[in-house]
Structure 1
Amino acid sequence: MESLDGKVVWITGASSGIGKALAAECALQGAQVILSARRLEELEKVRVSLLHPDHHISIAMDITDEAQVRHAYEQVLDQKGRIDLLINNAGLSQRALITETSMQTERAIMEIDYFSQVFLTKLALPTFIAQKSGRIAYISSVAGLLGTQYRATYSAAKAAIHMWANSLRAEVAQDGVKVSVIFPGFVKTNVSFNALNGAGKPQAHQDQAIENGLEADDFAKQTVAALLNGEEYIVVGGAKEKLGVWVSRLSPETLYKMIRKMKVK
């Protein structure tokens, strides 16, 4: 995929943050963007802000409701007839120690960050295989590569979708379908406000690390460029996050020692 011009791009979690920024960048690249999230009103605000708003559509759905997701998929095919790039971006973060996190919260994060991505992919996969083309992308996280305090379940879910995507890549390679995983570091969005505490309630305040992170627009530009370049393993973040990923490959033991000393909340 050397260009997004005229391509159909479906983005989940597109009403704000990374998803909104990715939608804007894809529209600038000439794509027909399908915006999905729970709130239609917010999606429509994003849609009308995009270049050539009439080329794009908003389809509201709760990513954890299989009936809604199935209906949304049917609408996508009915209105666009194909999907060239699916970006599984919908997600939920965490800010709680393991000892403070209820099992209900553990399951809620895993449901959104892992199982819902799996379900949508399995639903859309026959379309990609029939086309013998297209790319499926997942927004994982640097936390899914490293594992840090206060993010145990989030890290586990993001690592799980990474490994699942690796298996998917191997299984569909002969069908002409490509798979990419993106690992954001700290990106300045509302992710901290929505992150769940141990009781499953939104944290409702910003983290300093997120506030000082990469601008969402910069993240989107780097990510879309990497996807168009055919990259499959895409780390986008600041110097500290990239250093952590590098150390994790060379010396996991050194990384674990570094993480113990970090103040990441």
Structure 2
Amino acid sequence: MSQGNLDQKVVWITGASSGIGEALAQVFANLGAKVVLSARRGEELERVRQQLNHPENHLCVAFDVTQADQAQQAVEQVIEKCQRIDYLINNAGLSQRALIADTTIDTERRIMEIDYFAQISMTKCVLPYLENQGSGHVIFISSVAGLLGTQYRASYSAAKGAIHMWANSLRAEYAEKGLNVSVVFPGFVKTNVSFNALNGAGQAQAHQDEAIENGLKADDFAQKVVKAVMNDQEYIVIGGLKEKLGVAISRISPKLMYKMIRKSKVK
């Protein structure tokens, strides 16, 4: 992708303080976009901003995406400073590593709050501005787990599947209002996601998974996402051969896929 393809476009990324969000920010900044970085940790956002191409062009807006009032204030701040939003990337999220029987209902609700409700709340805050512009592109970072469902990720899979369906409805309702909607389904990407993944009691797992450690590099993943988004792809599966094969089999023979999942040793 050549420099300047996104010259002066405003790209807002939540969960931008590390991992996939940080990698996406690097790619978009290299393409000339004005990147708005959001997460709870302001100092980490500033670290990311300073590493971007032309850091003076980019903006940090720290807030808690699960708090609707903070999200609304953040939207107003971004509009005031940037005048528009061209891309909203709902990337903030939280994973899970616990069996259903070991997961408290509070942990179930927390995962759903962050991975589903926060995403739609954020999008609904931005929608009036995108509709007024007559253009915009909303991207949701879901997961291959949201297409298949596996052991140890029941709540996470449910939330990521729910955001996919909500995005489909959003796309249908706003198709004639200039809004593009994409959903990205990552497979295993090498980030700190498994360190932060919740166990059944709602505490961070605090160690890396082997599958994540051997996953796609975040920079490579981000390059593929941005290329797909710029080509207006709506359904974007990015991962290794195992994940892509699983998604393909689930479409052709769900029964076979479920048998394969039952025999897998995923954690």
TM-score, L = length of structure 1: 0.99
1:20 aligns with 2:22: yes
Give the whole-Å Cα distance in 2 for the aligned partners of 1:168 and 1:239: 30
User: Which residue number in structure 2 is paired with residue 254 of structure 1?
Assistant: 256
Alignment match of 2:206 (pick from 186, 189, 204)? 204
Contact 1:3 1:228 in 2 (8 A): no
Show the 5 A alignment for 1:85-164.
85-164=87-166
Count residues with an aligned counterpart: 264
In terms of mean alpha carbon deviation, does 245-254 or 65-74 score higher? 65-74
For structure 2, the 5+ residue unaligned runs are none
One-letter code aligned to 2:9: K
Mapped to 1, the partners of 2:261 and 2:6 lie a distance apart of 39
2:185 corresponds to: 183
Q: Quote the Cα distance in structure 2 between the aligned partners of 1:95 and 1:229.
A: 34
Q: 5+ unaligned residues in a row in structure 1: which ranges?
A: none
Distance in 2 of aligned mates of 1:15 and 1:138: 17
Q: Aligned partner of 1:172: which letter?
A: Y
Separation of aligned partners in 2, 1:177 and 1:230:
11
| Aligned match of 1:41 | 43
Q: CA deviation at 1:20?
A: 0.3
Identity of aligned residues (%): 67
Code of the residue aligned with 2:25 in structure 1: it is A
Match of 1:171 in 2: 173
Equivalent residue letter for 2:166: W
Tell me the distance in 2 between the aligned counterparts of 1:246 and 1:59: 39
Report the secondary structure of 1:175's partner residue. coil
Matches of 1:110 and 1:6, distance apart in 2: 34
Counterpart secondary structure, 2:61: strand
TM-score (norm 2): 0.98
Structure 1 residue aligned with 2:247:
245
CA RMSD of aligned residues (A): 0.8
The one-letter code sitting in structure 2 at the alignment partner of 1:135 is H
Q: Deviations over 1:39-64 (max 9, x none)?
A: 10000000000001000000000111
User: Secondary structure at 1:155's aligned position in 2?
Assistant: helix
State the one-letter code of the partner of 2:5: S
Residue 263 (structure 1) shift: 1.0
Q: Which amino acid aligns with 1:162?
A: H
User: Which amino acid letter does the alignment assign opposite residue 146 of structure 1?
Assistant: L
Q: CA deviation at 1:3?
A: 3.3
CA distance in 2, matches of 1:203, 1:61: 24
